[in-house]
C-alpha cells in the first residue's frame, strides 16, 4: 500500500549531551557528512546547494573542528567511488559501520543535507537518498527513527546530528510543499538525552542563499563553527553558543537579504544536561587600547532646561558593517547634571565605525550620534521632561508565597509601527486594544521552588530555588494553573489561575509605555532590566534581581520566555477585536513572549511575538500566572 507524504522543508540539529561541559580535545572525533542534490525519481525536485553545504561542513570540521580527515566520511553525488554515493544501501551500511568505530570518550557528528519526507498517515519521518521514490518511501527511504537508533546505540557520549533538508529553492516561488522542520522535530521530543534544532518554524521554509551559494542555515552554522559563535571568547565554540548564533543570524539574514522569514527552533528531550565543545578556534590578540574620559552634561528638553541628577549615560560603538552597537562605558550624573565616563578604545574602534550616546532618566530616553568623538570629548545631552510613571497596583501574596500585582483595566496600542526596522510583520499593524477588566499578574516568573511545591517535580536544567522554572511546556504550565487553583487556600480565596492572554501580557509589560522596551528605546539600558544574551552568562538568574517596569513587574524582558494562553497566528493583528482579544480560535503553536537569557535585545522587545508547539520543552521556556477578579 502506498501512503501519501509531505515533501519536507526542514533542518534539524540534534545533540546527545553529556552531563557537563567537556573539552573539544577529549578522545577521537568521527563524522559522516552527506549531501544530495540530484534524485532519480522525477517527482523529487533537485536541490542546488546540498553538496556544496556538505563539502563546506567537511572543510570546517577538519580545519576548525579538529577532525582528522581520515575519520570523516564524505558521501555526496559527485563522489567517483560507488560506495561513497548517497544511495539507500550505502547509507544503511556506511553510517552504522562508521559509528561502530566510536569509543565512549569520542565525539561523533553525522550530517545529512537533502530532501526529507513525512508520511501523512503515520507521521513517520524519512531522509531521501538519491534513489528514493516519493511514492514508495518505506521501501526506498531512510527512516529517521533508524538513524536515531544508530546514534543512540553509538558508544560515543558526545553526539551531534545535523539534518539540513529541502531548501525553499527546490519549489516554485519558495513556498513549502509539505510539513515544516518543526513538525519533523517532534519525532525527537521524547528521545532521552537528545536536543533538536529545526531550521524553520511551522509554515516556514529553509531558504537557499544564492549570493553565498549555500543554504542560509548552513552558511551561519559553518560561520559559527569557524569562530563567530565564540561568544565568551574562550577559544571554544560549544553547542549552546552555536544555537544562539544561528538563532540570531538566520532570521535577520532571511528578512534583510531574502525578504523572507526563517527562525530556527530547538527542542530538548528528557534527561538532557550540559553542553559540549564542537570546535576550537584562535583567540584574537587584544589590540592596544587608548584610555580617555568623555564628559556629559544632561538637561531636560534643551539648553535652558533643568539639570538632571541620576540620569544614566551610556557610550557605545557601532562597527562599519552596521552590526549591533557594543557598550563601551556607562555612568550616572551627579547633582550638577554632570558625569565623566572613562573609556578604553581599541585601535580598530578609533579607526573605523561610529560612536553614539544614550541618555535615560525615569521613563525618558534619547539617543545621540557623537560624530566628532573621540576628538571631541564634551557633550550636552537632553532628555524629554520627566513625568511621574504610572504607579503599580496593589499586590497580594498567595498560599505558596507567590506575589501578584493588580493590573488596572485600560487601553493601549499593541504591536509595532510600520516604520520600525526591528519589527516583524506579525507585530503589525499597530492597533488599539482595550483591557476591559482588571486582573492580577505574577510579579515574577514562576520559580522552581513554587513549581516544585505544587507539582512535586522540578524539570529545570539550571537548578536554584529562586531561579525561574524552565523546560516546561505550555501543557505543563496549564496543568500547574489547575493544580494551584485546586489547593484549599486558593479555592477558599476564589482564585482561579491561568496563563495571561497575549494582549494582557503586552499591556502589563508596557505598563503605560509606547517604546520598544518598557523603560524606553535605549538598547544599551536593557541590561538594567533584563537577563539576555549579552549579560546572562548563558544561564537563567534569580527572578526579581533586575529593575521592574512601572507597574512593579520583574523580568518582563528576558530570563525565560513566557507562555501565553493564545494560539499563535502570524496575521492575527489584522483582525484582532478591540476588546479583550484572546487570539486565534485554533492553531499548532501557542504564543511565547518576552525573550530569554539566550536571545538578543530585538527578541526582548515589548511587541515581539513568537510561538511554539504546546508540547515543546526547552531550557529557556517558563511562564508567569494571572487570575481574574471574582465578580
pLDDT of residue 276: 72
**Burial degree of 580 (CB within 10 A; 0-12, 13-18, 19+):** middle
Q: Is the pLDDT of residue 180 over 60?
A: no
Q: What is the mean pLDDT of residues 261-267?
A: 78
The predicted model gives 504-525 an average pLDDT of 94
> By the 8 A CB rule, do 629 and 513 touch?
no
d(CA 392, CA 13): 44
Residue 616 vs residue 320, higher pLDDT = 616
Which residue, 601, 599, 444, is CA-closest to 517?
A: 601
Residues 6+ apart with CB under 8 A from 443: 395, 403, 404, 405, 544, 548, 552, 553, 554
Rounded mean pLDDT of 233-258? Answer: 83
The Cα 138–Cα 154 span in angstroms is 24
Q: Is 542's pLDDT higher than 60? A: yes
**pLDDT averaged over every residue in the chain:** 84
The pLDDT tens digits of the residues spanning 394-425 come to 899 999 999 999 999 999 999 998 778 888 98
DSSP for 532-560, written as a single string: -TTTS-SS---TT-S---TTS---SSBSS
Nearest to 530 by CA among 586, 592, 600, 615: 600
> Which pLDDT does position 327 carry in this prediction?
82
Of the pLDDT bands very low, low, confident and very high (cuts 50, 70, 90), residue 593 is very high
Least confident of 198-212, 333-347, 415-429, 433-447: 198-212
Task: Note the pLDDT of residue 26.
Answer: 63
Q: Which helix (H) or strand (E) holds 336?
A: none
Buried b (16+ CB within 10 A) or exposed e, 299-335: bbeeeeeeebeebbbbbbbbeeeeeebebbebbebee
Give CA–CA dist 302/285, Å, rounded.
44
What is residue 166's predicted lDDT score, i.e. its pLDDT? Answer: 59
What is the pLDDT at residue 255?
A: 78
Nearest to 11 by CA among 214, 150, 272, 173: 214
Which of the given ranges, 388-392, 433-437, 483-487, has the highest pLDDT on average?
Answer: 483-487
What pLDDT does 274 receive?
57
The predicted structure's pLDDT at residue 272: 56
Q: Quick count: other Cβ atoms within 10 Å of Cβ 42?
A: 8
Instruction: Return the pLDDT at 348.
Output: 76
* pLDDT band at residue 321 under the 50/70/90 scheme: low
Q: What is the pLDDT of residue 487?
A: 95
The answer to whether residue 46 scores a pLDDT higher than 50 is yes
- Please, what sign has the CA dihedral across residues 342, 346, 351, 357? negative
* pLDDT beyond 50 at 10: no
Question: pLDDT band at residue 555, thresholds of 50, 70 and 90?
Answer: very high
Among 272-276, 388-392, 550-554, which is the least confidently predicted range?
Answer: 388-392
Check whether 521 has a pLDDT greater than 80: yes
Query: Are the C-beta atoms of residues 271 and 623 closer than 8 Å to each other?
Result: no
**DSSP H stretches of helix in 419-473:** 448-455
pLDDT of residue 631: 56
- The predicted structure's pLDDT at residue 258: 80
pLDDT tens digits for 442-471? 999 999 999 999 999 999 999 999 999 999
Name the residue with cell 476591559.
Answer: 436
Largest Cα separation within the chain, whole Å, is 83
Q: In this predicted structure, what is the pLDDT of residue 322?
A: 55
Determine contact, residues 428/570, Cβ cutoff 8 Å.
no
pLDDT band with cut points at 50, 70 and 90 for residue 337: very high
Q: Which three cell numbers stand for residue 133?
A: 521514490
Name 120's Cβ contacts closer than 8 Å, sequence gap at least 6.
3, 4, 5, 6
Does the pLDDT value for residue 188 go beyond 60? no
Of 354, 356, 384, which is closest to residue 368 (Cα–Cα)? 356
Residue 311: pLDDT over 50: yes
Range ranked top by mean pLDDT from 103-107, 382-386, 414-418, 555-559 = 555-559
Q: Determine the average pLDDT of the residues in 150-159.
A: 82
pLDDT at position 287 is 55
Residues above pLDDT 90, as percent of the chain:
50
Supply the pLDDT for residue 342.
93
Contact residues for 207 (Cβ-Cβ < 8 A; gap 6+) = 167, 168, 169, 174, 215, 216, 254, 258, 260, 262
pLDDT over 60 (residue 183): no
Residue 28 clears pLDDT 50, i.e. is over it: yes
217 and 208 Cβ atoms separated by less than 8 Å: no
Q: Over the range 206-224, which residues count as b (16 or more CB within 10 Å of their CB) and which as e?
A: bbbbeebebbbbbbbbbbb
Looking at residue 271, what is its pLDDT? Answer: 58
Sign of CA pseudo-dihedral 297, 300, 301, 303: negative
Query: Based on the number of CB atoms within 10 Å of its own CB, is 515 exposed (0-12), middle (13-18) or buried (19 or more)?
Result: middle
Average pLDDT estimate for 130-138: 92
pLDDT on residue 179: 47
DSSP labels, 218-262: HHHHHHIIIIIT-TT-SSEEEHHHHHHHHHHHHHHHHHHHHS---
Amino acid at each position: 500500500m502506498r501512503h501519501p507524504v509531505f515533501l519536507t522543508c526542514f533542518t534539524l540539529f540534534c545533540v546527545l549531551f553529556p552531563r557537563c561541559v567537556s573539552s573539544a580535545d577529549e578522545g577521537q572525533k568521527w563524522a559522516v557528512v552527506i549531501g544530495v542534490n540530484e534524485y532519480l525519481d522525477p517527482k523529487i525536485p533537485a536541490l542546488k546547494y546540498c553538496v556544496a553545504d556538505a563539502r563546506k561542513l567537511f572543510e570546517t570540521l577538519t580545519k576548525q573542528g579538529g577532525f582528522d580527515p581520515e575519520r570523516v566520511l564524505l558521501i555526496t553525488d559527485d563522489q567517483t567511488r560507488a560506495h561513497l554515493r548517497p544511495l539507500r544501501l550505502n547509507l544503511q551500511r556506511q553510517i552504522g559501520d562508521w559509528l561502530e568505530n566510536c569509543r565512549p570518550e569520542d565525539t561523533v557528528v553525522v550530517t545529512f543535507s537533502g530532501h526529507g519526507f513525512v508520511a501523512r498517515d503515520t507521521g513517520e519521518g524519512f531522509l531521501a537518498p538519491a534513489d528514493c521514490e516519493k511514492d514508495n518511501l518505506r521501501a526506498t527511504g531512510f527512516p529517521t527513527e533508524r538513524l536515531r537508533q544508530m546514534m543512540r546505540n553509538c558508544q560515543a557520549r558526545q553526539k551531534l546530528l545535523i539534518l539540513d533538508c529541502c531548501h525553499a529553492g527546490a519549489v516554485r516561488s519558495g513556498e513549502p510543499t509539505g510539513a515544516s522542520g518543526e513538525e519533523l522535530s517532534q519525532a525527537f521530543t521524547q528521545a532521552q538525552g537528545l536536543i533538536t534544532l529545526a531550521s524553520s518554524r511551522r509554515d516556514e521554509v529553509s531558504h537557499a542563499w544564492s549570493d553565498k551559494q549555500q543554504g542560509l542555515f548552513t552558511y551561519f552554522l559553518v560561520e559559527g563553527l569557524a569562530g563567530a559563535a565564540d561568544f565568551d571568547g574562550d577559544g571554544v565554540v560549544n553547542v549552546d553558543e552555536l544555537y544562539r548564533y544561528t538563532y540570531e543570524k538566520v532570521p535577520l539574514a532571511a528578512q534583510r537579504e531574502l525578504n523572507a522569514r526563517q527562525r530556527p527552533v530547538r527542542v530538548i528531550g528528557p534527561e538532557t544536561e550540559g553542553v559540549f565543545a564542537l570546535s576550537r578556534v584562535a583567540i584574537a590578540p587584544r589590540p592596544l587600547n587608548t584610555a580617555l574620559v568623555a564628559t556629559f552634561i544632561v538637561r531636560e528638553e534643551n539648553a535652558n532646561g533643568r539639570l538632571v541628577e541620576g540620569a544614566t549615560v551610556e557610550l557605545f560603538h557601532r562597527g562599519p558593517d552596521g552590526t549591533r552597537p557594543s557598550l563601551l562605558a556607562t555612568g550616572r550624573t551627579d547633582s550638577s547634571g554632570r558625569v565623566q565616563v572613562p573609556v578604553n578604545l581599541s585601535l580598530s574602534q578609533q579607526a573605523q565605525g561610529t560612536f553614539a550616546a544614550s541618555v535615560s532618566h525615569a521613563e525618558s530616553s534619547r539617543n545621540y550620534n557623537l560624530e566628532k568623538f573621540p576628538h571631541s570629548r564634551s557633550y550636552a545631552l537632553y532628555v524629554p521632561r520627566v513625568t511621574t510613571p504610572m504607579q503599580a497596583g496593589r499586590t497580594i501574596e498567595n498560599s505558596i508565597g507567590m506575589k501578584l500585582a493588580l493590573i488596572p483595566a485600560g487601553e493601549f496600542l499593541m504591536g509595532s509601527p510600520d516604520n520600525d526596522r526591528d519589527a516583524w510583520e506579525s507585530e503589525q499593524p499597530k492597533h488599539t486594544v482595550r483591557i476591559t477588566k482588571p486582573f492580577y499578574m505574577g510579579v515574577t516568573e514562576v520559580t522552581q521552588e513554587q513549581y516544585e511545591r505544587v507539582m512535586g517535580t522540578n524539570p529545570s536544567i539550571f537548578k536554584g530555588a529562586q531561579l525561574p522554572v524552565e523546560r516546561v511546556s505550555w501543557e505543563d504550565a496549564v496543568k500547574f494553573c489547575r493544580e494551584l487553583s485546586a489547593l484549599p487556600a486558593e479555592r477558599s480565596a476564589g482564585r482561579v489561575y491561568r496563563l495571561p492572554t497575549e494582549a494582557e501580557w503586552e499591556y502589563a509589560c508596557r505598563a503605560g509605555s509606547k517604546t520598544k522596551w518598557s523603560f524606553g528605546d535605549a538598547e544599551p539600558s536593557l541590561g538594567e532590566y533584563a537577563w539576555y544574551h549579552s549579560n546572562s552568562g548563558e544561564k537563567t538568574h534569580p527572578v526579581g534581581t533586575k529593575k521592574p517596569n512601572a507597574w512593579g513587574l520583574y523580568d518582563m524582558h528576558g530570563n525565560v520566555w513566557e507562555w501565553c494562553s493564545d494560539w499563535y497566528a502570524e496575521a492575527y493583528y489584522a483582525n484582532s477585536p478591540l476588546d479583550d482579544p484572546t487570539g486565534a480560535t485554533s492553531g499548532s503553536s501557542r504564543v511565547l513572549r518576552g525573550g530569554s537569557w539566550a536571545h538578543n535585545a530585538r527578541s526582548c522587545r515589548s511587541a515581539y511575538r513568537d510561538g511554539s508547539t504546546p508540547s515543546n520543552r526547552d531550557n529557556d521556556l517558563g511562564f508567569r500566572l494571572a487570575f481574574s477578579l471574582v465578580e
